[in-house]
Structure 1
Amino acid sequence: MRRILMVGAGQAGLQLALGLQAKGYDVTLMANRTPAEVRAGRVTSTQLMFRTALRYERELGLNFWEGLAPRVTGLGVSVAGTVPGVPGVRRAVDWVGRLDGPAQSVDQRVKLAGWLEAFAERGGRVVVHAAAVSDLDVLVHRHDLTLVAAGKGELVSLFARDPARSPYGAPQRALALAYVHGLGPRADGAGEEVAGWNLVPGVGELWVIPALTTSGRADILFWEGVPGGPCDVFGDVRDPGEHLARVLALLERFVPWEYGRATAVELTDAGATLAGRYAPVVRDPVGRLPSGGLVLGVADAVVANDPLTAQGANSAAKCAASYLASIVERGEEPFDAAWMRTAFARYWSSARHVTRWTNTLLAPMTPHARTLLSTAADDTALADRFANGFDDPSDFEDYFYEAGEGEEKGE
């Protein structure tokens, strides 16, 4: 039985560890928190997951909350604008595209704690320890394969930045989110669960996502502000109440159609807010330890996109599924550097589309893209196609970018 060490207990690390466990591998999982600590902690993400990523969970029998989480069947796109001589902000673009399969968002405090418990209950070995490079330098020689799925901290230094695939050297958005109860229904929803993506040119973006959290049904208000702009106001927040007040003040100023739904909201719990920023980056997937041992980077450890396009958890699930297939297909052959690069290349063949699309949207929107979003308001097929691109971003290659534009350098 081949021995595998998984470092990191997020979406990708746990999904892959549980998948390998189901295939009969001897898996040790290193996590930095217990399930109880995860549940009682602060929210970590927005994790709106689309059809393909949810299918990977379902195939492994990990869809524990599928009947409890809101079934998101539409994706709404709004673009803020103004009318000369008319005060205030209005929606210059507003439409809803229908998803081919429901999306859902399950608070990672709920999901990761549940998966971590399931892994242990199924006989998996869990070590609760914040791993350092020195730890892996010893452990790598006791396992046939060591995987690093920790996207932050010291271990990320093992993977060198790939400049050809990382055009941004600094954060492109200031991130701030709040999980709330009490958000009113969308005026156009007719009882349907719709995730709303609001674009405010020159200012940033607001996601409004129906979700399941530790206290039941909730909604996520998630601002992505241009650094230094009017949404970049969370650096000195002192407490969760002040954080929510600033989120709502930005809604009232820039997306009043969403603010009208939010006048009675309250935070779901004391840990329901989060703020931060990071630079999107692609890294070399193979890390070499001081002793010469090799480790393979997983998901955010090697491909970290800005959450602007809600791809983080989807990419993590797809990376876990791709690596699982590569590991199983390897059989008893060694997991050497050549195999590691081949396994990553297999994942990158789809992940590159996410990176290109997200990095494109971090820049000012092109006239071509603006025209597409406007046209979709009167073109149901185009609206649906755009919405389903969040599940399969490779489709954007055929129509979203400027005609004649070449592939991203380094792909």
Structure 2
Amino acid sequence: MRKILIVGAGQSGLQLALGLQSRGYEVTLMSNRTADEIRSGRVMSTQCMFDTALQHERDLGLDFWESQAPRIEGLGVSVAGPDSGRVIDWVGKLDGYAQSVDQRVKMAGWMETFAQRGGQLVIHGAAVGDLDYFSRSYDLVLVAAGKGELVSMFGRDAARSPYSEPQRALAVAYVHGLGPRPEHPDFDAVRCNIVPGVGELFVMPTLTTGGRADILFWEGVPGGPLDAFQGVKDPAEHLSLTLELMEKFTPWEYARATKVELTDAGGTLAGRYAPTVRNPIGRLPGGGLVLGVADVVVANDPITGQGSNSASKCAAAYLAAIVERGEQPFDEEWMQGAFDRYWQTAQHVTKWTNAMLAPPPEHVLNLLGAAGQLQPIADRFANGFNDPSDFENFFFDPEKTNAYLASVAGG
């Protein structure tokens, strides 16, 4: 029985641990927090998982909250005009619904499941020295903890990382009491509200520790008016600032948020990080090798909502690569191949996300505008969040965009 150590108990680490466990591997999972500490702690993300990523969970029988979480059937885009009105406003329908489950709920539940199924769970914040020691006892060590000292083992891939600084200041609030979006009160959708030159507000339904809730998520251009949450420690002040900015920049969203309150004292989060692709193989002082997982090696800005989706897809790709390897060694060549397999999907996410961080070129504005007039365009754009590779066909290149718009208009 092959022994595998996974450091980090997020979406990718736990999904991979449970997948390997179900296939008979002897898995040790290291987490710096217990399940109870995760469940009672601060929110960690704004996860919205689309159909392909959800299917990876279904395939492993890990879709524990699918019947409880709101079904997100659409994705809408609004663009603010100079008078705080909307110059663009539409919603595309998803072919398969998306869902968001607060990671405090999911990770705590999955961690308990892993332990109940006989997995070795170690509550310990790992350092490089720890891995140097542990690596001698395992056939493979995977690092799925995307923050802290361990990430320093994985060098930045400059060719794939155009940004060296954070491109957005992030501020999240989980709330109860948000009203429905009046344009589609009969179904749930993620709403992306773009304020040109200022930033974006995302609004999405979720399942949290206290049941159904909604996430208010500001992405502010650094140094701009939305970059206002640094130093705000009080959750009530954080929410008040969130709403104040909504009233000013997205009044149509503020109109349904006048009665909201935080879900809990841990329902806010703020921060920023530079989007970075790193080399996938880390070298330990003693000569051992470790393989980076998900946002350890491909960390995109959350502007396209791909973090948990990419983590799920990475875990699925690595699981397949490990199983296919059989009894052969997990050497450097295999590690690079496993990452390259994941990069086949991740490269599209990175290209699209980095493009969305920049001011949109004219052909993209034309595309977003046309989506408000022609429903097939809105639907295709929405479904790109599930399969970002499709953006290669109609988003990046002006000629392809114009040809696509002409084909839909002509049809």
The two structures have a TM-score, normalised by structure 2, of 0.97
1:241 to 222, 236, 241: 236
Name the structure 2 match of 1:20.
Answer: 20
| Residue 333 (str. 1) matches residue 318 (str. 2) | no
Cα offset, 1:189, TM superposition: 1.4
1:160-239 pair list within 5 angstroms: 160-239=155-234
| Residue 146 (str. 1) matches residue 141 (str. 2) | yes
Residues 201-259 of structure 1: CA distance to partner in whole angstroms, max 9, x if unpaired? 10000110000000000000000000000000001213000000110011000000000
Name the structure 1 match of 2:298.
Answer: 303
Name the structure 1 match of 2:43.
Answer: 43
**Structure 2 gap segments, 5+ residues each:** 401-411
**Structure 1 gap segments, 5+ residues each:** 83-87, 406-411
Cα offset, 1:191, TM superposition: 1.8
Q: C-alpha distance in 1, partners of 2:179/2:394? A: 35
Q: C-alpha distance in 2, partners of 1:301/1:75? A: 28
Aligned residue identity for 1:305: N
1:288 to 283, 289, 298: 283
| Residue 59 (str. 1) matches residue 59 (str. 2) | yes
What secondary structure sits across from 1:105 in the alignment? coil
Aligned residue identity for 1:289: L
| Residue 345 (str. 1) matches residue 340 (str. 2) | yes
Q: C-alpha distance in 1, partners of 2:295/2:189? A: 27
Aligned residue identity for 1:397: E
Q: C-alpha distance in 2, partners of 1:188/1:169? A: 39
Q: C-alpha distance in 2, partners of 1:48/1:250? A: 23
**Dislocated runs of 4+, deviation >6 Å:** none
Q: C-alpha distance in 2, partners of 1:162/1:404? A: 30
Query: Which region of structure 1 is more displaced relative to structure 2, 13-22 or 189-198?
Result: 189-198
Residues 261-286 of structure 1: CA distance to partner in whole angstroms, max 9, x if unpaired? 00000000000000000000000000
Aligned residue identity for 1:66: E
1:243-392 pair list within 5 angstroms: 243-392=238-387
What secondary structure sits across from 2:55 in the alignment? helix
Aligned residue identity for 2:179: G
Name the structure 2 match of 1:408.
Answer: none
1:87-106 pair list within 5 angstroms: 88-106=83-101
Name the structure 2 match of 1:85.
Answer: none
Q: C-alpha distance in 2, partners of 1:103/1:404? A: 31
The two structures have a TM-score, normalised by structure 1, of 0.97
What secondary structure sits across from 1:296 in the alignment? strand
Q: C-alpha distance in 1, partners of 2:190/2:353? A: 18
Aligned residue identity for 2:343: W
| Residue 75 (str. 1) matches residue 89 (str. 2) | no
What secondary structure sits across from 2:352 in the alignment? helix
Q: C-alpha distance in 2, partners of 1:294/1:286? A: 7
Query: Which region of structure 1 is more displaced relative to structure 2, 54-63 or 395-404?
Result: 395-404
Aligned residue identity for 1:385: R
Aligned residue identity for 1:179: Y
Q: C-alpha distance in 1, partners of 2:233/2:135? A: 42
Name the structure 2 match of 1:126.
Answer: 121
Q: C-alpha distance in 2, partners of 1:207/1:11? A: 21
Residues 65-97 of structure 1: CA distance to partner in whole angstroms, max 9, x if unpaired? 000000000111101112xxxxx4111100010
Cα offset, 1:108, TM superposition: 0.2
Cα offset, 1:404, TM superposition: 6.3
What secondary structure sits across from 1:318 in the alignment? helix
Q: C-alpha distance in 2, partners of 1:155/1:130? A: 10
Q: C-alpha distance in 1, partners of 2:361/2:244? A: 29
| Residue 155 (str. 1) matches residue 150 (str. 2) | yes
Q: C-alpha distance in 2, partners of 1:269/1:190? A: 26
Cα offset, 1:364, TM superposition: 0.7
Identity %: 68
Q: C-alpha distance in 1, partners of 2:398/2:154? A: 35
Q: C-alpha distance in 2, partners of 1:382/1:252? A: 30
What secondary structure sits across from 2:390 in the alignment? helix
Q: C-alpha distance in 2, partners of 1:363/1:188? A: 28
Aligned residue identity for 2:327: E
Aligned residue identity for 2:69: A
Q: C-alpha distance in 2, partners of 1:397/1:202? A: 25
What secondary structure sits across from 1:89 in the alignment? coil
What secondary structure sits across from 1:41 in the alignment? coil
